[in-house]
Amino acid sequence: MKIQNICCIGAGYVGGPTMSVIAQKCPDIQITVVDVNAARIAAWNSEDFEKLPIYEPGLSDIVREARGRNLFFSTDVDTAIDRADMIFISVNTPTKTYGLGKGMASDLKYIELCARQIARVATTDKIVVEKSTLPVRTATAIKNILDNTGNPVQFQILSNPEFLAEGTAVADLFNPDRVLIGGEETADGQRAVRALVDIYARWVPAEKILTTNVWSSELSKLTANAFLAQRVSSINAISELCEKTGANITEVAQAIGMDSRIGSKFLKASVGFGGSCFQKDILNLVYIAKSYGLDEVADYWEQVIIMNNHQRQRFAHRIVKTLYNTVSDKKIAFLGWAFKKDTNDTRESAAIYVADYLLNEQALIQVFDPKVTAQQVYADLNYLNSRAEIDNEKSVQVHPCPYQTCQNVHAIAILTEWEEFNTYDWERIYQQMHKPAFVFDGRNVLDKAKLEKIGFIYAAIGR
């Protein structure tokens, strides 16, 4: 089965980059990315390729090459569904904020809406691909909706979870560790699997394309994120012990990372992990375990989240304690708001939670991030605790320049590991700060010796 026309529902952090790379690698396949958010689609269609709605290194060049040739962005969802041979569902699956499973289970309302729209519109057979991160056995619910519409249309459901790291998404798509495709173990199901395998095989070596049943594919995504997050929380737990004993977490991480059985990845102590996946997926795993009565399994994974929350609060508390147990009316500069470097994504960013803690201590927050807008900063704080926007704008200021951000502040907190921070004129920053001048390096990225030579009082996670 040769795929000629693809529709992707959802123009976000997964759908946009993934479809752009597929379009570049498969110029003979027409790809339409659709979204009901007209402003987002307009941004994808902008003539200024540096103002795409998602920042990823290298993405703008790919969109510039493929858009208008075989890559299109549209709000006409029905037409794209009708024309497609293969439909990717790449919509948000946030943690539920209401009802059964509140605070843990994934909210699948957008997935269900997509399935119902596909069922309503489709007039020809379709392959439907789960690209969003979903609880195990979600494919059953999608297939039940699609197969009970009364239309004589055949649907095959595949699971093809993404394993992209924001900030390196393009590189991850070009050279993935693996591509995972789950399908039904029937003749039709395997034909559908082969159709998707053939697309990725245009540039991904065969040995990196792994096929499984649907349930293994769905669960593998949750498990991978849980294991990665577990490593972050594990090293962060040791970082607190390092601070008490005089050990250096960077040296400890290097020592254990050289063990081939452990490896060095995800052993960088920090103020905590963020992003759209880790916390959401672990909570989902906890909820699934509890729903099967596996309380010990649920408690084990929930501890990863508890440790992450503790690390954020501990970092904020350290700032307060160091500044003589009060930050009331003191200016604290935040360098970085995105959850990690090389992205404009702020979902579950540690900066949001640290800022909220300090705002409750009546601090005044000054923010600079190279890729995050002031509108997004205020939206993040409003979403977290419904603080009135006027209060946020009174206590939080977002600046376009790092030097302006650090003017007359009592302390600087590094919340994102942007590499450009090391290139700043720190002597200039020091001269314009209140003394003593404190730097709290929540990402362990700055040169401690250099800053202390200038006169800063430097504190980092785990040392």
Name the catalytic one among 126, 221, 268, 280.
221
Nearest by Cα to 318 from 304, 335, 332, 303: 332
- What is the separation of C-alpha 354 from the centre of its chain, rounded to a whole number of angstroms? 18
Q: Is 401 a catalytic residue?
A: no
Name the catalytic one among 162, 166, 243, 417.
162
Pseudo-torsion of CA 97, 102, 104, 110, nearest 10°? Answer: -50
Q: Is 406 a catalytic residue?
A: no
What element of type H or E holds 200?
helix 187-200
Walk across the sheet containing 179-182 and list its strands.
Answer: 71-74, 30-34, 5-9, 86-89, 126-130, 155-159, 179-182, 209-212
CB 419 within 8 A of CB 438: no
183: three-class secondary structure by DSSP? coil
Nearest by Cα to 366 from 330, 400, 332: 332
Structure tokens at 273: 């992990």
Name the catalytic one among 7, 26, 242, 277.
277
CB 362 within 8 A of CB 394: no
Q: Is 199 exposed, middle or buried (0-12, 13-18, 19+ CB in 10 A)?
A: buried
CB 6 within 8 A of CB 184: no
Radius of gyration of the chain (CA): 23
How far, in Å, are 69, 274, 287 from residue 228 at the CA level? 38, 12, 18
How far, in Å, are 214, 250, 330, 415 from residue 274 at the CA level? 28, 20, 26, 11
**411 DSSP β-pair partners:** 332, 438
Q: Is 221 a catalytic residue?
A: yes
Which residues, in sequence order, are CB contacts of 296 under 8 Å at separation 6+? none
- CB count within 10 Å of CB 216 equals 15
Nearest by Cα to 333 from 275, 388, 403, 387: 403
299: three-class secondary structure by DSSP? helix
Which residues, in sequence order, are CB contacts of 392 under 8 Å at separation 6+? 378, 381, 382
Q: Which residues are catalytic?
A: 162, 221, 277
